[in-house]
Amino acid sequence: MKKVVFLDRDGVINVDVNDYTWEWGKFIFTPQLFNHLKLLVNKGFHFIIITNQGGISKKIYTKNDVFVLHNLMQKQFEFNGIPLLDIYFCPHHSSIEKCLCRKPESLLLEKAVAKYNISLKHSYFIGDNERDMLAAKGAGVEGIKINTNEGIERAVRLILQQSAV
């Protein structure tokens, strides 16, 4: 079974500017992201991104815009030696429609767990919002909440401590 660190996107992987981030030219990785993820790669962890992208529902940007951004983002992960298993996103917004895939619901995590044979006991979700923690709990994964745009150093240290036990 795979050990996975699920990652929220905006505020965890990239700097969240309190606006929708969908253009590559405005996409800024959080500090030292790849250096910290490499520490987890060295311990056998894989990565999956779980992100709400309600701007699609609001017609601010399109699914294709998200695919383009995620493709470029994934190339940067690969360039830095961080392979991503997958990227899941919810295109809905709760002010417009109801769905089961938008965090705090856990459907996207559950799909990933089933598809990739993930060990819940040895997996984590790093997020910057209470809805990330609720989604993690709903899927049976330990959630680690960080401050928006803080970087993941503290969360990675915690994972490394817990996985050493």
Which one, of 49, 127, 129, lies nearest residue 82 by Cα? 49
At 19 the pLDDT is: 84
The pLDDT of residue 151 is 96
Which residue among the candidates 10, 16, 128, 132 is catalytic per the annotation? Answer: 10
Where the chain has pLDDT below 70, the residues are 165
pLDDT tens digit sequence for 33-50:
999 999 999 999 999 999
Q: Active-site residue 16, yes or no?
A: no
pLDDT of residue 18: 82
Q: Which residues contact 93 (CB under 8 A, 6 or more apart)?
A: 54, 55, 56, 57, 58, 102
CB atoms under 10 Å from CB of 3, counted, come to 17
Q: Count other Cβ atoms within 10 Å, centred on residue 121.
A: 10
Looking at the chain, the whole-number percentage of residues with pLDDT higher than 90 is 94
Among the listed residues 127, 147, 164, 160, the one whose alpha carbon sits nearest the alpha carbon of residue 38: 160
Predicted pLDDT at 53: 97
CATH fold of 3-164: Rossmann fold (3.40.50)
Catalytic residue from among 8, 16, 128, 132: 8
> What pLDDT, on a 0 to 100 scale, did the predictor assign at position 165?
59
Query: pLDDT for 56-74, tens place per residue?
Result: 999 999 999 999 999 999 9
19 has catalytic annotation = no
